[in-house]
Structure 1
Amino acid sequence: MNRRTFIRATLAAVALAALPRSLYAGREAGAIEKLVKTDDEWRKILTPMQFDVLRNEATEPAFSSPLNKEYSKGVYQCAGCELPLFDSSTKFDSGTGWPSFYAPIAGHVETKRDFKLIWPRTEYHCARCGGHQGHVFDDGPAPTGQRWCNNGVALHFIPA
């Protein structure tokens, strides 16, 4: 780790610790039971890239997922635990290189503040297993104006 990376990580950790929990734990109350596994258990069921994205909050390369151009009717599930996260009716082509949706299935994702790039972003995870999915931005289409930008490797598409 170089000095610049260390300083950024330290600043992000300090800023995150200083925030009230209510600002970065956008958890919705619901009946979804949490799924907890060890890293070894996750490694047995996930590919190395899925593990890196879902468990270590990595980002896959843009335009690398076949789901980016998938527009059939169906449901997009978490690749870690199969919880449905998005309905295909909310998918749109954002031109960013990642599958994008204007809204998740209510109560199936949790959000938190992310300071990895210094300025705050909203990161979201699967509400059941905590697997990192992507980030949400305010530059999407109607009706929400949001772009839920997802790593394709973190999803499985189930056709209708």
Structure 2
Amino acid sequence: MTATKVLLTGMSGTGKSTVLEALRGRGWRTVDTDEDGLVDEHPDRTDLRLPEIRAILQQPRHDRPLVVAATGDGQAELYPLVDHVVVLVAPWPVLRERLGVRPGNDFGKEPGELERVRADQERYEPLLRRGADLVLDTSELAPDEVVDRVDALAAAPSTGGER
């Protein structure tokens, strides 16, 4: 049996980094496109470095599942390369609070960045939901529940290409 590949997406503050850290602790291979230098940030958008991310996803499957956290322009091009697309969501008031207090990531603390996240949520979250196999509201689920749901995908049949 080959290991599952998951694309984890969602707005800033939804908990992608938290989920990645927990999955890494459960033996998953993880790629955080923000932390691993696979994005180009602009004041009005995030460009994914699609050739590099595609190359990661096209590597031969390993004995451990892989999760790639990526949100940005062109991400739908990655969907055929993964078995599952998971989007993390949370209401705007929750995101605003999380962005203001999260450690280790200053994005979203400046007023212009905060407004960008709010605008991106309104514009892009409906698209992310449509392309996802699984939508998890991180304001309603405990972090361990979110991680358990994503971790369970390692044993689930692929839905790749059926979105």
Higher-Rg structure is: 1
Q: Greater strand percent: which structure?
A: 1
Coarse TM-score class (shorter-chain normalised): under 0.3
TM-score (norm 2): 0.25
Q: Which protein, 1 or 2, shows the higher relative CO under an 8 Å CA cutoff with sep ≥ 6? A: 2
TM-score, normalisation: structure 1: 0.25
Question: Which one has a larger percent helix, Structure 1 or Structure 2?
Answer: 2
